[in-house]
């Protein structure tokens, strides 16, 4: 079973993503803010991380930098899921090292498809 970490400070999005990915046979771990995500990543080695950018305490860019510099986590697939949806936001996210960028609001079905594609490649 593939492990996915979902990091978002919006409870409704977190709940929706958790339910959807559990239903699609993923082992799901959740973090409600950036600090909680960093703590979670000390003991969970996920196959993929869905990561919000704008969060309290530690933002998504700081978490991505931590992941890309971590000897064990550096190759984990990371998908930014953000309300920041301008072209320059997407470019900044991909240049920072994200494997994909999904703007809110999004289709859960398409997100699951994209996650599956990233895990196959």
Is-contact 45 21, C-beta < 8 A? no
What is the rounded CA–CA span in Å between residue 112 and residue 118?
10
CATH number of 105's domain: 3.40.50.2300
Q: Cα dihedral sign for 79, 18, 21, 13?
A: negative
Tally the domains of the chain: 1
Omega prior to 55 cis, within 30 of 0 = no
DSSP codes, 72-94: TTTTSEEEEEES--SHHHHHHHH
What is the rounded CA–CA span in Å between residue 92 and residue 78?
14
Tokens of 56: 């309290």
How does pLDDT run across 72-102, given as a tens digit for each residue? 999 999 999 998 888 898 899 999 999 999 9
Domain that holds residue 55: 3-120
- Per-residue model confidence (pLDDT) at position 47: 97
* Whole-structure pTM value: 0.95
- Per-residue model confidence (pLDDT) at position 85: 84
Query: What's the rounded mean pLDDT across residues 47-52?
Result: 97
- Per-residue model confidence (pLDDT) at position 121: 74
- Per-residue model confidence (pLDDT) at position 84: 86
């Amino acid at each position: 079973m593939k492990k996915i970490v979902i990091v978002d400070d919006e409870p409704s999005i977190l709940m929706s993503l958790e339910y959807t990915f559990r239903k699609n046979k993923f082992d799901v771990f959740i973090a409600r803010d950036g600090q909680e995500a960093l703590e979670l990543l000390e003991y969970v080695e996920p196959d993929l991380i869905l990561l919000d950018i704008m969060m309290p305490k530690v933002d998504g860019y700081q978490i991505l930098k931590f992941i890309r510099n971590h000897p064990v986590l550096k190759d984990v697939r990371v998908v930014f899921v953000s309300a920041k949806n301008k072209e320059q936001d997407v470019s900044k996210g991909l240049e920072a090292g994200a494997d994909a960028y999904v703007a809110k609001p999004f289709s859960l079905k398409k997100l699951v498809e994209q996650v599956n594609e990233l895990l196959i490649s």
